Chain A
């Protein structure tokens, strides 16, 4: 059943977006002519004829769906490359960014949330609340530029843009270190919103859990505070956070578009942005297709994670 829904979803993603792109004014011939500093009518007509843009909408859609059914995402109009190749070049960078930001946001969010739940009236708690709200409210591109000015320009700890320094060559660990250094700022920027979200959520569920009867029982047994929190309370408070993380995974994919633009991170986000501006329909649809796949897989992983922390989920058959 799930697989069936996933296929329907993918088909809807493609048809809907194909139609939306068709409704947008201007086409790829206009943007190709922009990138060339202007072109005459003859060239524009030729581009349109070459890419079949002069055919009626339904014919274009039919051609496209037909090709996708044969697992062919087509050829990018704007980049002169097969779409699949273009996307597979970029996908790893986006996955690296999104997954590492997700992990950072979860770990830091839960730690901060638990901490402030335990000491609801401490000054530190107000700090956590303040920074959570700040991170949540600030637009990511602004946070990104601010971090760049602070930690690339004023204190030059991290590089400004890109994913690796091409002048560096060396073994795996040298490359690893290089990519890691480039990853730090985009990762913090992207996770800033989600840290806030997860810490607020885990704080709220933690406080609720701490008031529950079984916690009092555990305390009455004479368990230490630490054991109560980490063995009993935390496990129960985690499942809403994990559910939320699954839902937010798609939000993170879209947040990556902005972060990638600021840090010139060579991922799907910058490619998506550029393709939309360029009206490069095959590339956009290909990216949406892959993103939908990633989100579906992300949701499946969330379900699995929930079964691990919450036996009640697995018990239902």
Chain B
């Protein structure tokens, strides 16, 4: 098999591994794909655990009601069709009639209702299905979702790893809340997807094999998928280069991505990352000290040269991003202030905010970072702010939990942070700006940001079924946050050819 490397690929919610490899290779049956995971898998049951290492095998083990193409249009998968009622309060799924679980049991609407209960009780993304009150199952192949309010985010949430349909006759033997520690989450997993689990060996590999009774005729094309667990990025890079691994995703070290681009036979692509939407930004604690003044936050945004970050530090592997919504999302609003480098403006804003230069300095701040890969970025921020007479002290964290605790309890001034959109803004965007979500653990509203109009816009957009009106609400939302800057977006990570 010709080997190819995808710098980003099967982004969980949107493009499945299956579809992308089939397009690249043409429909030819057979073969084994060797791909790679960067960390050990905690849980193979993607109905109770989110995250990319669970979703990567999870999207093959489990089918979901819908799939999305790369222009964010829903496609039939387990649901051959679906209707949304006029008032937006009922969503009816018409399921395919030949779907089976890997043990041969037919998949019915009961399993869909059961899976939704399990996801609601255990999955960390509470907002995905919060408005779903109940699921009616008038017959085996019809599932009716009753909502308490219109919920446009539901459509994206019914795809990929976000809504894995799991078998009730296997996972229904314990109370709903305990499915997350079910013994069959890691062994003898029974799914509904195109591949079934052969073996999971902690620290070594996940091996999947073609499910011959898969409901889409003739699919999948591959006989086997081997997912090797290789934590070291340098070792992974060598494995791509010498052909031991055919495909991988979520590589993020610029030096390694650029090196792999040069290798013959490897194909590096950013396509599909919009589905998970990773963004790099500089987070500000807006509740204390000079950073409580919006002019100071703006001055810092003007003093940090995004081009330097993009070209010198990210070495051209990332692209500019202006708001907290990923530029690949249909809701992205590019018509907001981008804060291009302007040291004079920065100095003027700081003077205006009442922080004149005294003995060569205005004030001092700290900056945190959670993982070693972004140390150059925070070192650069320190150097850049020196030019406008702000002293910055870099605070290292021993490891991720140390940093996560500092962020979760708002024990920081500034921090470099990477946050994922996870599809619809309701899932991964609102949490950063919602004033009822302040300081609730890492990746909550760790900025202490609060604006009544922003809260209102998010609440309205969450229930607006009209796509254009929803887009307008998010446009206004982005204009406000780009002006008030609780976070200063720098770039979208791993997102450029």
Beta-carbon contacts under 8 Å, B219-245 to A: 226, 228-232, 234-236, 238-239, 241-242, 244
Q: Among B108-116, B144-152, B310-318, B440-448, which stretch is in contact with chain A?
A: B440-448
Could you mark each residue 362-403 of chain B with 1 if its beta carbon is under 8 Å from any beta carbon of chain A, else 0?
000000000000000000000000000000000000111111
Judge whether B408 and A277 touch: CB under 8 Å: no
Judge whether B42 and A78 touch: CB under 8 Å: yes
Q: B20 contacts the other chain (Cβ, under 8 Å)?
A: no
Judge whether A34 and B235 touch: CB under 8 Å: no
Chain B residues near A35: list those with CB within 8 A: 39, 42, 49, 51, 53-54
Given A27-B401, A145-B234, A263-B235, are A41 and B444 neighbors across the interface (CB < 8 Å)?
yes
Q: A133 contacts the other chain (Cβ, under 8 Å)?
A: no
State A279–B404 Cα separation when bound (angstroms).
Answer: 12
Closest chain A residue to B405, Cβ basis: A26
Task: Give the shortest distance, in Å, between A21 (CB) and chain B (any CB).
Answer: 11
State A264–B401 Cα separation when bound (angstroms).
Answer: 23
Given A37-B124, A274-B39, are A161 and B230 neighbors across the interface (CB < 8 Å)?
yes
28 contacts between A and B (CB under 8 A): A24-B401, A26-B400, A26-B403, A35-B51, A35-B54, A38-B420, A38-B428, A38-B443, A38-B444, A39-B441, A40-B441, A41-B440, A41-B444, A79-B40, A79-B42, A81-B186, A145-B234, A163-B204, A167-B34, A266-B204, A266-B229, A270-B40, A270-B203, A270-B231, A274-B39, A276-B399, A278-B401, A279-B401
A residues bordering B, Cβ < 8 Å? Answer: 24-27, 29-44, 78-81, 86, 89-90, 145, 148-149, 152-153, 156, 159-163, 166-167, 261-264, 266-267, 270-271, 274, 276-279
Partner of B231, one of A24, A36, A264, A267: A264
Could you mark each residue 283-319 of chain B with 1 if its beta carbon is under 8 Å from any beta carbon of chain A, else 0?
0000000000000000000000000000000000000
Closest chain B residue to A164, Cβ basis: B204
Judge whether B437 and A40 touch: CB under 8 Å: yes
Chain B residues near A90: list those with CB within 8 A: 202-203
Closest chain A residue to B404, Cβ basis: A30
Judge whether A79 and B202 touch: CB under 8 Å: yes
State A277–B52 Cα separation when bound (angstroms).
Answer: 18
Partner of B235, one of A32, A160, A163: A160
Judge whether A38 and B242 touch: CB under 8 Å: no
Judge whether A152 and B231 touch: CB under 8 Å: no
Given A153-B238, A266-B201, are A40 and B124 neighbors across the interface (CB < 8 Å)?
yes
Chain B residues near A89: list those with CB within 8 A: 201-203
Task: Give the shortest distance, in Å, between B273 (CB) and chain A (any CB).
Answer: 14
Judge whether A162 and B204 touch: CB under 8 Å: yes
Judge whether A36 and B51 touch: CB under 8 Å: yes
Judge whether A148 and B238 touch: CB under 8 Å: yes
Judge whether B420 and A153 touch: CB under 8 Å: no
Task: Give the shortest distance, in Å, between A142 (CB) and chain B (any CB).
Answer: 10
Chain B residues near A148: list those with CB within 8 A: 234-235, 238
Task: Give the shortest distance, in Å, between B121 (CB) and chain A (any CB).
Answer: 10
Given A27-B401, A35-B42, are A167 and B32 neighbors across the interface (CB < 8 Å)?
yes
State A27–B186 Cα separation when bound (angstroms).
Answer: 23
Judge whether A162 and B201 touch: CB under 8 Å: no
Task: Give the shortest distance, in Å, between A182 (CB) and chain B (any CB).
Answer: 11
State A80–B122 Cα separation when bound (angstroms).
Answer: 15
Task: Give the shortest distance, in Å, between A96 (CB) and chain B (any CB).
Answer: 14
Could you mark each residue 48-83 of chain B with 1 if its beta carbon is under 8 Å from any beta carbon of chain A, else 0?
011111100000000000000000000000000000
Closest chain A residue to B204, Cβ basis: A266
Q: Is the interface of B mostly helix, strand, loop or mixed?
A: mixed
Task: Give the shortest distance, in Å, between A166 (CB) and chain B (any CB).
Answer: 5
B residues bordering A, Cβ < 8 Å? Answer: 32, 34, 39-40, 42-43, 49-54, 124, 126, 181, 185-186, 201-205, 207, 226, 228-232, 234-236, 238-239, 241-242, 244, 398-406, 408, 419-420, 422, 428, 431, 437, 440-444
State A271–B229 Cα separation when bound (angstroms).
Answer: 12
Judge whether A37 and B420 touch: CB under 8 Å: yes
Judge whether B228 and A161 touch: CB under 8 Å: yes
Chain B residues near A159: list those with CB within 8 A: 244
State A89–B203 Cα separation when bound (angstroms).
Answer: 10
State A278–B32 Cα separation when bound (angstroms).
Answer: 32
Chain A residues near B207: list those with CB within 8 A: 166
State A285–B288 Cα separation when bound (angstroms).
Answer: 40
Chain A residues near B428: list those with CB within 8 A: 37-38
Closest chain A residue to B370, Cβ basis: A34
Instruction: Find the residue from A33, A163, A261 having the highest chain B CB count within 10 A.
Output: A33
Partner of B229, one of A41, A79, A263, A264: A264
State A124–B132 Cα separation when bound (angstroms).
Answer: 77
**5 nearest CB pairs, A to B:** A26-B401, A39-B124, A38-B443, A41-B440, A266-B203
Judge whether A166 and B205 touch: CB under 8 Å: yes
Given A25-B401, A38-B124, are A264 and B232 neighbors across the interface (CB < 8 Å)?
yes
Judge whether A36 and B49 touch: CB under 8 Å: yes
Chain B residues near A26: list those with CB within 8 A: 399-405
Task: Give the shortest distance, in Å, between B347 (CB) and chain A (any CB).
Answer: 36
